[in-house]
Amino acid sequence: MAPGLVELTPELDRKIQNVSVQLRSYEIEKQKATEKDLPNNQKEVTIPGRVRPRPQTPGASEEGEWVQTDILTATMVERGPGWRILDFQIKCCGAQP
């Protein structure tokens, strides 16, 4: 996250932990990210790829089918030696709209 721009709160910590648990339930083959320039020297980065539930996931078959989808979108800003995340949204893997 972007130090000084994003407040590290218990809610953000829970969001990161929940997304981590959610993503571990899926096999993911990520592809090259796409970028879109935004105002204020920010950019939106979207990571596409293929996903499928891991076999031990409830309701998943042993040979689950791969689905092509966007996996994650992040809004980023350049700070210091690289880009820092301002916000992110999971797009796959049982994400709630």
> Which pLDDT tens digit goes with each residue over 12-63?
999 999 999 989 999 999 999 999 999 988 999 999 999 999 877 555 555 6
Does a structural domain hold residue 51?
yes
How many Å apart are CA 2 and CA 80, to the nearest integer? 10
Residue 4 lies in a domain: no
Residues 6+ apart with CB under 8 A from 84: 1, 2, 3, 5, 6, 76, 77, 78
Neighbours of 92 (CB within 10 A): 20
> pTM value?
0.80
Per the structure, the complete domain to which residue 20 belongs is given by 10-90
Q: Which residues pair with 91 in a beta bridge?
A: none
Q: In 3D, which of 80, 93, 7, 75 has the Cα closest to residue 37?
A: 75
Whether residue 41 lies inside any domain: the answer is yes
Domain count, the chain: 1
Is residue 16 a part of any domain in this protein? yes
**The pLDDT value given to residue 76:** 94
